[in-house]
Amino acid sequence: MQPRRQPPPAPLPAGQRPGARLLALLLLLALQGAAAAAPAGSWRPEDPGRPQDAGLSRGLLQQAARAALHFLNFRAGSPSALRVLAAVQEGRAWINPKGGCKVDLVFSTERYNSESLITEGEEHLGKCSARVFFKNQKPRPAINVTCTRFLEKQKRQQEDYLLYKQMKQLKLPLDVVSIPDSHGHINPSLRPIWDLAFLGSSYVMWEKTTQFLHYYLAQLTSVKQWKTDDDEIDFDYIVLLHEFSTQEIIPCRIHLVWYPGKPLKVKYHCQELQTPEEASGTEEGRAVAPTELNHF
């Protein structure tokens, strides 16, 4: 007796076929993978302030490093200690749309006036670690920064005093049209003026920097040095600041008072469509104490 033949199974509905189930599973895995690789600007309400992959926010790390260097240069108050960014080594960013953006990073620097360097490789480099807090679209980020391998204090004081003597010996009134000139050249006799202008402008650029706005000193267009009864260098100058994201050129009038080893004094006013609080300011080198970092 032959066994009874079983009827063929009924076909599954289209939504339950193995191919459709496999497709649904693959789609779910793809979505999970995309969520895990979300860019550094992403933020989820259930996990506010979550650290993001620094490799996906390289521009943000660069912006934080530049802001930290503006602040560092101003706070040092020394034309001989001016630094510029060499490279960002590592960093992490915490993004919170309601509070702002906090960045921890490590970066290397080099001396600003490369013409005065003896080429000895990394002897003229320094490493810095910083925490920078951008308050959404507001300027003047709060910054804590520490650096190693600075120029030795004694040598820095010697270079600053030499620059100070050069400034004191300049003939008044100064007849300066533009530094650098139309060919990008800075006359060595005018280098002290440019370095001091860069030092004072560092404060202005730090105050105006936001998470998305980056400023660079493009040109010094006017200088007026004042005779004083004391030993301080006291002069007014006009600079052109280049803002990279908007490509705007912003003229700023800056008044600077400086003496080697003393806090830098800066007042300024920039010509642009901003509120008066954002367009002008005054500060002394030791008066800056960022307090917003713990409020993230």
State both tokens at 240: 């052109």
> What local confidence, expressed as pLDDT, does residue 208 receive?
95
> What local confidence, expressed as pLDDT, does residue 290 receive?
37
DSSP annotation string for the chain:
-PPPPPPPPPPPPGGGSHHHHHHHHHHHHHHHHHHHT--TT---TTSTT-EE-GGG-HHHHHHHHHHHHHHHHHHHT-GGG-EEEEEEEEEEEEEETTTEEEEEEEEEEEES-GGG----GGGGEEEEEEEEEE-TT-SS-EEEEEESSPPPHHHHHHHHHHHHHHHHTS-SS-----BS-TTS---GGGHHHHHHHHHHHHHHHHHH--SS--EEEEEEEEEEEEP-SSS-EEEEEEEEEEETTTTEEEEEEEEEEE-TTS--EEEEEE-SSS-HHHHEEEEETT-----GGGG-
What span, in angstroms and rounded, lies between the C-alpha atoms of 157 and 19?
Answer: 76
How much of the chain, in percent, has pLDDT values that exceed 90?
Answer: 42
Range ranked top by mean pLDDT from 5-14, 91-100, 153-162, 247-256: 247-256
Range ranked top by mean pLDDT from 37-51, 60-74, 278-292: 60-74
Is 257 a residue whose pLDDT tops 70?
Answer: yes
- Domain locations along the chain: 51-295
| 30 — pLDDT class (breaks 50, 70, 90) | very low
Is 255 a residue whose pLDDT tops 60?
Answer: yes
Does 121 or 150 have the greater pLDDT score? Answer: 150
Model pTM score: 0.73
Is 194 a residue whose pLDDT tops 70?
Answer: yes
Is 288 a residue whose pLDDT tops 60?
Answer: no
Is 42 a residue whose pLDDT tops 60?
Answer: no
Is 275 a residue whose pLDDT tops 70?
Answer: no
| 205 — pLDDT class (breaks 50, 70, 90) | very high
Is 45 a residue whose pLDDT tops 50?
Answer: no
> What local confidence, expressed as pLDDT, does residue 98 receive?
82
Model confidence pLDDT, tens digit, residues 49-91 = 555 544 447 889 999 999 999 999 999 999 999 999 999 999 9
Calculate mean pLDDT across residues 111-126.
Answer: 58
Q: Find the range with the poorest average confidence among 9-18, 38-47, 71-80, 123-132.
A: 38-47
Is 277 a residue whose pLDDT tops 50?
Answer: no
How much of the chain, in percent, has pLDDT values that exceed 70?
Answer: 66
Range ranked top by mean pLDDT from 40-54, 78-92, 102-116, 262-276: 78-92
Mean pLDDT of the chain: 76
> What local confidence, expressed as pLDDT, does residue 96 receive?
86
Calculate mean pLDDT across residues 240-268.
Answer: 94
What span, in angstroms and rounded, lies between the C-alpha atoms of 90 and 88?
Answer: 6
Domain 51-295 -> CATH class: alpha beta
Calculate mean pLDDT across residues 242-271.
Answer: 93
Does 153 or 252 have the greater pLDDT score? Answer: 252
| 182 — pLDDT class (breaks 50, 70, 90) | confident
